[in-house]
Structure 1
Amino acid sequence: MRIKDVLLVPGNGAFFYDDQAAIRAGATQDGFIYVGEPITPGFTSIRVPASSLSVGLVLADDMVAWGDAMGVQYSGAGGRNPLFDPKQISDLTSRVIAPRLFDVDASRYLDACTRVFGPFENMRLPLALEYGVSQALLRVAAHLHRKTMAEIICDEFDLPLPTRRIPIYCQSGDAREINVDKMILKAVDVLPHGLINSRQKFGVGGQTFMEFVKWVAKRTREIGPPGYQPVLHFDVYGWIGSEIGLEPQSIADFICEVADTVPGFTLNIESPADFGSTQAQIENYAKMVSILDNRGSSARIVVDERCNTLEDIRLFAEAKAAHLVQIKTPDVGSIADTARAVLICKANKVGAYVGGSCTETDLSAQASVHVSVATQAAMMLAKPGMGVDEAFSIVGNEQDRLLATLNRRATKNVG
């Protein structure tokens, strides 16, 4: 089956693109906007409505398979691709990608991705473009083989059909208290993210952050269902290192101190520090992981910044430079590389967290669910948006539908 046409439709992401450098430099909030001049190239203001580009692949039978391209919230930060430009991506897709798509066998997923995503002018294609087109190609293969997207991934990577449900992680945005309550009432597996992205939210010596951690644990016990024990996961955007210094021992000491305030809970700390380069990040994160392991701490280090591409993820996993690696799907590129990233992490006995961004769409979130379940990741992000309810329903319901479909097929085959 061949692809006979490509449709390109500008659309909306579910949240906003934010200039992380300007926020870290002290930009203040006025309602929902940030006041001040942007710092990161490409930003016309510190907070910009997220945009996306839907890519529709039209098959000979007139079925149209869609995928969505977009950037991440903090585009241009931590070694990431610059701010998403839908006009640029649309032009590149029309000129370069469409002719390649017309020339591939759409039923062979990995082979199609390899052929379509080859370099252009000796450079890799924009990762957002790879992400959107690879989702559409995965849906094409699923349609042609009359299978789920998860089954296509299992077939292509020679994986057994999955049966285990993947824990779901929700993020709160700035509406921390209200959204924490929502997460607890819905018995979310991993919560709350917290968006600790400024000195004000972290506090002098981390005291504001520590009080918030204790409050989340206390609130979980107060209003959570009996026996409910979620993983507590906080993204601190490098503020531990910024506030108390870039010494791995001191950072590990602080993390252990936080973990000790919430006994009985597993504590994930994402992006405790930014050491300025991928290599420095690997070396220092590996030291922190070793310190926590030697102490038998319940705390786990999660890497995000400086760990973007598939090769970055391989380096972190092989160095044991995190307990969990966030596979930030639009930053990895092709969603086939998200599957590869999970398998690399698992081969190195490092947790694989299929993340992404609040700026994504329903389509990209659903495709991510299929890859997460097929590869049996350690956890996956509820996305898109920052509202909890919508993201949790999109990801949770897609997973439940998928597992019901796979269970029926397995039962039917046995019978």
Structure 2
Amino acid sequence: MQIKDVLLTPGNGAFFYDDQAAIRAGASQDGFVYVGEAVTPEFKSIRVPAASLSVGLVLVDHTVVWGDMMSVQYSGAGGRDPLFETAQISDLTSRIVIPRLLDVDVSRYLPACTKVLEPVGRSRLPLAIEYGVSQALLRAAAHLQRKTMAEIICAEFDLPLPTCRVPVYCQSGDAREINVDKMILKSVDVLPHGLINSRRKFGVQGQTFMEFVKWVAARTRQIGRPGYHPVLHFDVYGWIGEEIGLEPQRIADFICGVAESVPGFTLNIESPADFGSTQAQIENYAKIVSILDGRGSSARIVVDERCNTLEDIRLFAEAKATHVIQIKPPDVGSIADTARAVLMCKANKVGAYVGGSCTETDLSAQASVHVSVATQADMMLAKPGMGVDEAFSIVGNEQNRLLAILNRRAIINVG
């Protein structure tokens, strides 16, 4: 079951790579462009069009299966890999990865990933390469075995075939109000993200953010269908800590106040603060979680920054330093490790959210759906892009198609 040839072709991500440090330092916007000098290494400007690299595996029957490599929107921030450079990634893939691909049995998914993605010396391959190549290998195994990618994951990890859908979470980008309306009209399970990534959007002592949260809850009641009751999930990019300080008690007090302003809703607060290192993040998030739980608050902490790799996820889950972990596939690396991360969260009774980035592609989003459904994650991100409609369609429709196939399989097997 060997690969006959490997194709590489450059592509586009669905959004832009942004210099988070420059934005956090106060870079202003002129239309869609950020004004000022870049701060994070490799960025030539604060906002850069997202690039991707597709890897195509030509199989023995001449079918070509694809995977897409890319980085996340805020590359180089919070311990992440640096900005994606297509030429550099293509060169490394050609020299190191392609020879391995041409000498592997792709019918066995996990062993193939292990062999193809092994480190070079003591250095791990760029996570973008791991992500894209592991998608292609998953599609290859699915094609050869005439199964869905989800069924391959279930077989490899000894999981039962899923029957339940995974809640979908949409992100608004800067067009907050319009996109919130779209989400409510489409009855999205979890909303709206909000992109609260600057002092202007967060406001003095968080007042601007607080008003936005209350508006989303009120708007949901106003235009949502009867009985519609989404989870409210806001990503504040560390701005609670930036604005009111890094004392866990004060952060917990603020979050409790936000939750109390929208009674009846479950409130997710993602990245309330950045404490500067993984260890500091674990210690202080654990304190915040403990305070919220002690008060019986409806608010839940979601970790993103400083929790990137499978090892990071293990540390947060075992320490109960969060209520929910965003498992960000391009930061985790191999999509097989995304599956491992979900199962690790479940084993430690921590919420598993398969996220990702607006910079991803249709192919990477579809592969993430199969892993999310196979492992029965608690929620998954509608991606790629920031437009709501396209991402919700790609992820939602892929999930519906997958569950229809699996339901038919179950009926046939019973019969």
- TM-score normalised per structure 1: 1.00
Instruction: Look up the match of 1:82.
Output: 82
Instruction: Look up the match of 1:51.
Output: 51
| Counterpart residue identity of residue 180, structure 2 | V
Instruction: Look up the match of 2:342.
Output: 342
Instruction: Name the CA distance, whole Å, in 1 between partners of 2:162 and 2:86.
Output: 36
Instruction: Name the CA distance, whole Å, in 2 between partners of 1:141 and 1:86.
Output: 26
**CA-to-aligned-CA distance 1:10-53 (integer Å, 9 cap, x gap):** 00000000000000000000000000000000001000000000
Instruction: Look up the match of 2:269.
Output: 269
Instruction: Look up the match of 1:148.
Output: 148
3-state DSSP class of the match of 2:106? Answer: coil
3-state DSSP class of the match of 2:83? Answer: coil
Instruction: Name the CA distance, whole Å, in 2 between partners of 1:43 and 1:407.
Output: 47
Is 2:352 aligned against 1:352? yes
| Counterpart residue identity of residue 229, structure 1 | H
Is 2:166 aligned against 1:166? yes
| Counterpart residue identity of residue 268, structure 1 | N
Instruction: Name the CA distance, whole Å, in 1 between partners of 2:92 and 2:109.
Output: 21
What is the CA-CA distance between 1:102 and the residue it aligns to?
1.0
Structure 1 segment 201-212 matched on structure 2, within 5 A: 201-212=201-212
What is the CA-CA distance between 1:103 and the residue it aligns to?
1.0
> For this pair of structures, how many residues does the alignment match?
415
Structure 1 segment 14-163 matched on structure 2, within 5 A: 14-163=14-163
Instruction: Look up the match of 1:4.
Output: 4
**CA-to-aligned-CA distance 1:242-274 (integer Å, 9 cap, x gap):** 100101111000000000000000000000000
3-state DSSP class of the match of 1:56? Answer: strand
Instruction: Name the CA distance, whole Å, in 1 between partners of 2:7 and 2:221.
Output: 50
Identity %: 85
**CA-to-aligned-CA distance 1:188-237 (integer Å, 9 cap, x gap):** 00000000000000000000000000000000000000010000000000
Instruction: Look up the match of 2:411.
Output: 411
Instruction: Name the CA distance, whole Å, in 1 between partners of 2:111 and 2:77.
Output: 32
Instruction: Look up the match of 1:180.
Output: 180
3-state DSSP class of the match of 1:3? Answer: coil
Instruction: Name the CA distance, whole Å, in 1 between partners of 2:188 and 2:223.
Output: 13
| Counterpart residue identity of residue 369, structure 2 | V
Q: Which residues of structure 2 form unaligned runs of 5+?
A: none
3-state DSSP class of the match of 2:29? Answer: strand
Instruction: Name the CA distance, whole Å, in 2 between partners of 1:136 and 1:79.
Output: 26
| Counterpart residue identity of residue 259, structure 2 | A
Is 2:256 aligned against 1:236? no
Instruction: Look up the match of 2:302.
Output: 302
What is the CA-CA distance between 1:121 and the residue it aligns to?
3.1
Instruction: Name the CA distance, whole Å, in 2 between partners of 1:167 and 1:244.
Output: 32
What is the CA-CA distance between 1:303 and the residue it aligns to?
0.1
RMSD: 0.4
Instruction: Look up the match of 1:367.
Output: 367
| Counterpart residue identity of residue 311, structure 2 | E
Is 2:378 aligned against 1:378? yes
Instruction: Name the CA distance, whole Å, in 1 between partners of 2:27 and 2:180.
Output: 25
Instruction: Look up the match of 1:388.
Output: 388
3-state DSSP class of the match of 2:4? Answer: strand
3-state DSSP class of the match of 2:61? Answer: coil
**CA-to-aligned-CA distance 1:157-215 (integer Å, 9 cap, x gap):** 00000011000000000000000000000000000000000000000000000000000
Instruction: Name the CA distance, whole Å, in 1 between partners of 2:269 and 2:71.
Output: 24
Structure 1 segment 248-263 matched on structure 2, within 5 A: 248-263=248-263
**CA-to-aligned-CA distance 1:350-403 (integer Å, 9 cap, x gap):** 000000000000000000000000000000000000000000000000000000
Q: Which residues of structure 1 form unaligned runs of 5+?
A: none
- TM-score normalised per structure 2: 1.00
